[in-house]
């Protein structure tokens, strides 16, 4: 069972920046599209961004376009989410997942996807 590990979250003031990282031990991410998802209290996980296996195609939710940048380094088995211009509404637990369904600004996990990791908490507050 694939277990992805997210890191890089923290507390940041509005307008600040963070870089999240996603990796996996004993599993190569290079052959998989990777998506970032965000769960806020009382809501299901919302798709934030995704990147294809080669890193040549990226997708963003409308709410983060122009502020977040997804990238990957397959040699390091890492996927990143650079977040800038953070706002309180960006607060939540961020997760990465393999092989999401990415269509324009709509990013959803594969039906029945269960390999969620622990996530990393992002809190945007003054």
Measured CA distances, 96 to 7, 34, 92, 116, 125 (Å): 10, 7, 13, 7, 23
SS3 89: helix
CA-CA distances (angstroms) from residue 79 to 20, 53, 89, 122? Answer: 8, 10, 23, 17
Share of the chain above pLDDT 70, in %: 100
Q: What's the confidence (pLDDT) of residue 26?
A: 84
Write out pLDDT tens, residues 47-71: 999 999 999 999 999 999 999 999 9
Residue 2: CB atoms within 10 Å: 14
Token couple for 38: 């965000």
Q: How many residues does the chain have?
A: 126
Q: Which residues on adjacent β-strands are paired with residue 108?
A: 101
The upper half-sphere exposure of residue 59, i.e. CA atoms within 13 Å in the direction of its Cβ, equals 21
When the pLDDT of each residue in the chain is averaged and rounded to a whole number, the result is 95
Q: Give pLDDT tens digits for 72-96.
A: 999 999 999 999 999 999 999 999 9
Of 26-30, 61-65, 106-110, the range with the lowest mean pLDDT is 26-30
How confident is the model at residue 41, as a pLDDT? 81
């Amino acid at each position: 069972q694939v277990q992805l590990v997210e890191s890089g979250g923290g507390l940041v003031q509005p307008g600040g920046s963070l870089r999240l990282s996603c990796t996996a031990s004993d599993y190569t991410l290079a052959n998989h599209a990777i998506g970032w998802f965000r769960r806020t209290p009382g809501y299901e996980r919302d798709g934030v961004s995704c990147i294809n296996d080669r890193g040549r195609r990226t997708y963003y939710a409308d709410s983060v376009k122009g502020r977040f940048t997804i990238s990957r380094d397959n040699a390091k088995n890492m996927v990143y989410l650079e977040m800038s211009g953070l706002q309180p509404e960006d607060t939540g637990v961020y997760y990465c997942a393999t092989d999401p369904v990415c269509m324009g600004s709509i990013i959803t996990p594969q039906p029945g996807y269960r390999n969620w990791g622990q996530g990393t908490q992002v809190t945007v507050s003054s």
